[in-house]
Structure 1
């Protein structure tokens, strides 16, 4: 096993690309391999660093892919490469099954083969409605089953693992258009276009929004210090969707509710904080920066001057 070799599944995705950037910045001797099928990932998110290697492939083939690479055993596997949209999972149950259940089984098998530590990005949907929402959608059900499988694999075979739950991730690089867009990404896109923000009814459903930089910091700490289940990565701040929309100061319109909608989401961050994790970025500050720079962009364009770069993160 090479202590300086890490596998990130979904490394060309929103969170995965940010994670790779953080890992390489933390250790100049580290080598990172990404395996991504580019379903929602993009080559535009690749980290331009010779220490990062990108492999186009599915996690169900990860064992064969690794053998083809002829690399040493990875010390850590960050498994982010799964299907990750709730309403759309009703339309694509076969894809959800393939990416989440079959793919994760093979990633776990790889970890067992090489005695690697698995850091699994689970879903906060498991905790909705006092745990009953884990059966609400094909997505949430498969994610909950994977948690059971990983925990049982530890009991049966001694799998080293840490399971983190990512709460409503937003920030630079998020998907903002198309069926897999995140709510903050959608709001940003609509705000920059001068359009009303579309809020799914009733609008009072709440979420715990977490900046991607904070999520990545939590995943790294789970790899370094965590073990077992229950690392909830959220700010511990419950915000209604209509309140979030109003942060932008734009008009809003209501749209029909989405199937599989959760009505509350709030993280108990006590276990994550016990290993030193502390979220640093608030959604209110982030939105204020988006609004500020969008307004500046418009003013600069009207004045015929160069507009400032879009906000990267709000600290």
Structure 2
């Protein structure tokens, strides 16, 4: 098949391109080679240019995009800005790239014709859920609202039941959970996936939204301070700097290894997957940030300390664990990588890269200056 991947030079897109090319598909990539993601001298890698027709350009460039869409059978829409913290102040930019960029693509398909396009796949995010699914001992399954800064500032970090205000226990979040994003990034991903699925239905083509959890692995950007907890920690530890862990360190994430993400995505490109679907893509296991910090320090044998600061970011969630049963039932996908094994693969790779100053402290100042970084009261 002829497949267009917008944002295809990124972490997930480039590896998906290699996987699809290996299985006989013809790949075209559109990417603006953002310096925040690709560094100061961005370019398409030689390996990527061998397997794909690589085009540098903006997804909002209608003329360019309309030309690329011609003769494609599948469009995988990865082009987006990522990062919950940055989205809370770079509002217009996130709207322009994530929402306007998607609207340009769909407008082309509606008004200039589908051509041979028969499937749209969009990269969504678990951020659309906000806190996601929990269980209250009194009221059963509940979906907590965004945590209140005034509670977090006194060390109350766990979500509470929206009905009785008692502490609730995290459960795997299924695709049936309601939309409740707590960051503007999450809101843009919600709109993106709703747009794609709406117009896939209207145009009578297949549409799939993939809600990625916390993707990690070799090759992810080490220079972007707004995404990638592992990248930030590995940079700091290799420069013998202490780690500032937010909240109480017990906040947790569903870390899913890049190879599993690629296989899950490729399974949805398969011609046998018909209709419109929304799937979680994760490991189904959660790991605390404190565990991650200690594991990175231990791997490098560093003297760095873990400082549990009690600080918090407005828009962050507390826990994250995906229910991946729907994806498994339809495609047969099952994660192969444990977090321990995947972490060692990532750190083995990171140890061979230069430790960079990715501007993490600067990104925290950006949040603090806008009142989006909270501090625990004494």
TM-score (norm 2): 0.70
Map of 1:92 onto structure 2: 90
The answer to whether the aligner puts 1:252 opposite 2:302 as a matched pair is no
Map of 2:287 onto structure 1: 239
Map of 1:59 onto structure 2: 59
Q: CA deviation at 1:46?
A: 5.5
Q: CA deviation at 1:64?
A: 1.4
Map of 2:7 onto structure 1: 10
Instruction: Measure the CA separation in 1 of the matches of 2:102 and 2:256.
Output: 24
Q: CA deviation at 1:98?
A: 0.5
Map of 2:209 onto structure 1: 163
Map of 1:129 onto structure 2: 131
Map of 2:357 onto structure 1: none
Pairwise mapping of residues 33-44 of structure 1 onto structure 2 (< 5 A)?
33-39=28-34, 40-41=37-38, 42-43=42-43
Map of 2:158 onto structure 1: none
The count of residues paired between Structure 1 and Structure 2 equals 290
The 1:45–1:170 alpha-carbon spacing in structure 2 relative to 1, beyond 3 Å, is farther
Pairwise mapping of residues 1-315 of structure 1 onto structure 2 (< 5 A)?
4-27=1-24, 30-39=25-34, 40-41=37-38, 42-43=42-43, 45=45, 47-61=47-61, 63-68=62-67, 72-112=70-110, 113-114=113-114, 115-130=117-132, 134-224=180-270, 225-226=272-273, 227-248=275-296, 249=298, 251-255=305-309, 256-274=311-329, 275-289=331-345
Q: CA deviation at 1:198?
A: 3.0
Instruction: Measure the CA separation in 2 of the matches of 1:141 and 1:67.
Output: 26
Instruction: Measure the CA separation in 1 of the matches of 2:347 and 2:28.
Output: 36
The 1:181–1:108 alpha-carbon spacing in structure 2 relative to 1, beyond 3 Å, is same
Unaligned runs of 5+ in 2: 133-142, 147-179, 354-378
Q: Per-residue displacement from partner, 1:204-228 (whole Å, max 9, x unpaired)?
A: 1111001111111111111114342
Kindly indicate whether the alpha-carbon contact (under 8 Å) linking 2:253 and 2:286 is maintained by their aligned counterparts in 1. Answer: yes
Kindly indicate whether the alpha-carbon contact (under 8 Å) linking 1:169 and 1:211 is maintained by their aligned counterparts in 2. Answer: yes
The 1:290–1:119 alpha-carbon spacing in structure 2 relative to 1, beyond 3 Å, is closer
RMSD: 2.4
Instruction: Measure the CA separation in 2 of the matches of 1:176 and 1:253.
Output: 22
Instruction: Measure the CA separation in 2 of the matches of 1:118 and 1:213.
Output: 21
Instruction: Measure the CA separation in 2 of the matches of 1:141 and 1:236.
Output: 23
Kindly indicate whether the alpha-carbon contact (under 8 Å) linking 1:5 and 1:72 is maintained by their aligned counterparts in 2. Answer: no
Instruction: Measure the CA separation in 1 of the matches of 2:232 and 2:43.
Output: 21
Map of 1:306 onto structure 2: none
The 1:204–1:22 alpha-carbon spacing in structure 2 relative to 1, beyond 3 Å, is same
The 1:293–1:95 alpha-carbon spacing in structure 2 relative to 1, beyond 3 Å, is closer
Kindly indicate whether the alpha-carbon contact (under 8 Å) linking 2:82 and 2:227 is maintained by their aligned counterparts in 1. Answer: no
Kindly indicate whether the alpha-carbon contact (under 8 Å) linking 2:130 and 2:186 is maintained by their aligned counterparts in 1. Answer: no
Kindly indicate whether the alpha-carbon contact (under 8 Å) linking 1:97 and 1:142 is maintained by their aligned counterparts in 2. Answer: yes
The 1:50–1:173 alpha-carbon spacing in structure 2 relative to 1, beyond 3 Å, is closer
Q: CA deviation at 1:72?
A: 4.5
Q: Per-residue displacement from partner, 1:244-280 (whole Å, max 9, x unpaired)?
A: 2122325312342122111111111011112121111
Instruction: Measure the CA separation in 1 of the matches of 2:88 and 2:209.
Output: 25
Kindly indicate whether the alpha-carbon contact (under 8 Å) linking 2:26 and 2:52 is maintained by their aligned counterparts in 1. Answer: yes
The 1:66–1:107 alpha-carbon spacing in structure 2 relative to 1, beyond 3 Å, is closer
Unaligned runs of 5+ in 1: 298-308, 311-315
Higher deviation after alignment, 208-217 or 109-118: 109-118
Q: CA deviation at 1:25?
A: 1.6
